[in-house]
Amino acid sequence: KRVEYGGGAVSLILNILWIIFSGIPLAIEHATFGLLFAVTIIGIPFAKQHFKLAKLALMPFGTSVF
C-alpha cells in the first residue's frame, strides 16, 4: 500500500494537536515494535509496516492510503 500526505491548513492544525497529545507515544511504540521485528528475517516485512505506521501515527490527518 501507498501513503500520500497532503491536506491544507485544517489538516496542519489537527496534526499539530495530534502530535502534542497522542502522536509521539504512538509513533515511539510502532518504532520500538519495528526494531524488535527487524531482529529476525521473518519479522522484516512486519518491521517495514510498523515503520510506515510510525510515520502515519505522527501525521494522520490529510493522508490518503492507496
Q: In 3-state terms, what secondary structure has residue 65?
A: strand
In this structure, what C-alpha cell is assigned to residue 32? 520500538
pLDDT greater than 90 at residue 62: no
| pLDDT for res 8 | 85
Using 50, 70 and 90 to split pLDDT, how confident is the model at 6? confident
The length of the chain in residues reads 66
| pLDDT for res 43 | 96
The percent of residues in the chain predicted with pLDDT above 70, rounded, is 100
The CA–CA distances, whole Å, from 33 to 3, 7, 54, 55 equal 20, 28, 10, 13
The C-alpha atoms of residue 33 and residue 12 are separated, in whole angstroms, by 27
CB-based contact 60:4 (threshold 8 Å)? no
